[in-house]
Amino acid sequence: MTARHRPDIVLVLTDQHRADVSAREGFPLDTTPFLDELGRSGAWFDRAYTTSPLCCPARTSLMTGRFPSAHRVTQNPAHPLAVRDADLFGEARAAGYATAMIGKNHTYLDASSVDHWVEFMHDGQVAAPSKALNKEFDKWLAGLRHRTHEKPTPFPVEAQNPHRIVDEALAWAAGVPDDRPFLLTVSIPEPHNPYQVPEPYFSLFPEESLPPTRTGAEVLEGKSFPWRYLRSLGERAVADYEGAIAPSRSNYFGMLRLIDDELRRLLTGLEGRHRVRERVVVATADHGDFVGEYGLVRKGAEIPDILARVPLVVNGDAVRPAGAPRPEHVSLADLMPTLCEAMGRELPDGVQGRSLWPLLTGRPCPADEFSSSYVEQGMGGLPYGPGDVAGQMPGLIFDGPDGEPRWDELNAATQSGRRRKVRSGDWTLYADIVGDFRLYNLREDPLELVDRWSDPAAADERVRLLSLLAVWQMRAEDPLPTVPGGYRLKRDPRNHLAPYRHSEGKGQSS
């Protein structure tokens, strides 16, 4: 790969962005027209999965190409303790790339990890912004305490995180010489709660126009304890929890359109550079949001498909247009090795994800390599249950300093235990540490309400997915540390496994 053709990489990451709420997926509201256009002219995956439906574990996986059980970040507070060697920014710098992280971080990374760093979170810019308007907006945003604002946000679009982040990204990119490639990560904290959006986006999807949810709180009685606990937390914190769901949904969809317009503005602003440099654009998210399904908002309960599946669109000069969703099952952990290959870097030790670059560029790829995806959740220990909460144990139900109920969906109760998910074809398997196994047909039952684990008609699928789970569990074991001068591991250059199955070591990667 010549220096001239090393592509710029623009990585756009949204937070709590559900995969199925877009027109390209058949959703009745046109929430992301520009992203849909990018998908149609590039590649989009409707079977892309997070590594864990939680911010820090997922983001750490994206940066390191490692699963949570390997990098050890299985809960948000553990983000500074990530176990890793190489990461995406380190590989980009080694390849001579200029690097920038602009927006939400929420990983082990810090300002020393990149050439340019501007950090935002859900309450606005981490360092005090210079403009008075932005300071005022950030103070207002923090005052929402992650809840729903049921009127138009009383600040213009220009004060919103996505707009300010894109401004920062364009200003930085303008200073990078054309003869030097860059890795620009634009990490938008929305549409994560607090659910708020200004005009004209507030009125785009009014409550009366919203498609109804397919389920309500009535199904929670058939779900496990964390689901019901989430609902009870919301009801303690919000006087009319049920009544707040519709405005939360309306704001969520409006924010998606705002983000989509900012993505268009970002890429339009980079067009001058694109005329002299090839580029790759990746747009994805860390995990989903209930957005009203099951009578819930936010996240936290187990690993349903609605939280685990993420949007993934890849567009670029070398990306072969697919025109339709790609059938492969892929993971956030696959993006780091994919972008390493795009930059001309070999996969570092410790990386567990698989390179998608052959798929994206139309080169041969093992047919079975992407026939399943794997997701993890849970911080360990035994799962908490109703008896534990009855005693009001610290760390389960807790209030703020003023005694007001605190609404924290990520707590000891919802994150306790260990859970695993495998998706293959129309089927998904759930397993947890105390031996609860469930099997769902996602084509017939996308919200996973009918457990087929004991159904004789599903016996073959049960065995098939259990076999896949066993392989994935071994695949996700940590290969680090490597021992200098020790045994040399046999590795496929793209971390593909399919060519070696049942081959007695004779298989070769394509």
CA distance 427 to 431: 14
pLDDT at 252: 98
CA distance 368 to 360: 16
Q: pLDDT, tens digit, for every residue of 340-395?
A: 999 999 999 999 999 999 999 999 999 899 999 999 999 999 998 888 866 555 44
Tokens of 132: 């008075």
Cα-based angle 182, 107, 68 (whole degrees, multiple of 5):
110
Q: Is the per-residue pLDDT at 505 higher than 80?
A: no
Among 162, 226, 174, which residue's Cα sits nearest to residue 377? 226
pLDDT at 508: 45
pLDDT at 488: 86
Distances (CA, A) of 269 to 12, 134, 274: 15, 22, 10
Task: Give the containing element (helix H, strand E) for 227.
Answer: helix 225-237
For tokens 């669109």, what's the residue?
313
Question: pLDDT grade, residue 3 (50/70/90)?
Answer: very low
pLDDT at 510: 40
pLDDT at 487: 87
Q: Is the per-residue pLDDT at 110 higher than 70?
A: yes
CA distance 430 to 420: 6
pLDDT at 392: 55
CA distance 182 to 285: 21
- pTM here is 0.95
pLDDT at 19: 98
Tokens of 58: 């997922």
- Reduce the secondary structure of 17-72 to three states and give it as a string: CCCCCCHHHCCCCCCCHHHHHHHHHCEEECCEECCCCCHHHHHHHHHHCCCHHHHC
Name the 3-class secondary structure at 498: helix
Question: pLDDT grade, residue 323 (50/70/90)?
Answer: confident
Q: pLDDT, tens digit, for every residue of 64-103?
A: 999 999 999 999 999 999 999 999 999 999 999 999 999 9
The rounded Cα 87 to chain-centroid distance in angstroms is 17
For tokens 């049921």, what's the residue?
150
Sign of CA dihedral 394, 397, 400, 403: negative
Name the 3-class secondary structure at 438: strand
Q: Please report, for the chain, the start and end positions of each structural domain, with discontinuous segments joined by +.
A: 8-376
Q: Is the per-residue pLDDT at 504 higher than 80?
A: no
pLDDT at 506: 46
Q: pLDDT, tens digit, for every residue of 180-238?
A: 999 999 999 999 999 999 999 999 999 999 999 999 999 999 999 999 999 998 998 89
CA distance 202 to 3: 45
User: Phi/psi zone of residue 8: left (φ > 0), alpha (ψ -120 to 50 degrees), beta?
Assistant: beta
Name the 3-class secondary structure at 421: strand
pLDDT at 402: 64
CA distance 274 to 265: 14
Q: Which residue type does 31 have? A: T
pLDDT at 236: 87
Q: pLDDT, tens digit, for every residue of 277-294?
A: 999 999 999 999 999 999
Q: pLDDT, tens digit, for every residue of 410-430?
A: 988 899 999 999 999 999 999
Tokens of 422: 């495998």
> What does R_g of the chain's alpha carbons equal in angstroms?
22
Distances (CA, A) of 276 to 6, 7, 437: 11, 10, 53
pLDDT at 243: 97
Q: pLDDT, tens digit, for every residue of 31-42?
A: 999 999 999 999
pLDDT at 187: 98
The average confidence (pLDDT) of the chain is 94
CA distance 160 to 120: 11
CA distance 252 to 342: 33
Q: Which residue type does 182 have? A: F
CA distance 507 to 510: 9
Tokens of 326: 């790609």
Q: Is the per-residue pLDDT at 2 higher than 60?
A: no
CATH architecture of 8-376: 3-Layer(aba) Sandwich (3.40)
Residues 432-448: what's their mean pLDDT?
98
pLDDT at 509: 42
Q: Is the per-residue pLDDT at 405 higher than 70?
A: no
Q: Of all residues in the chain, what percent carry a pLDDT higher than 70?
A: 94
Q: pLDDT, tens digit, for every residue of 230-266?
A: 999 899 889 899 999 999 999 999 999 999 999 999 9
Question: pLDDT grade, residue 483 (50/70/90)?
Answer: confident
Tokens of 500: 């070696």
Distances (CA, A) of 446 to 78, 229, 293, 443: 32, 22, 12, 6
Contact 69, 301 (CB under 8 A): no
| Phi, then psi, of 256 in degrees rounded to 5 | -60, -40
CA distance 359 to 328: 9
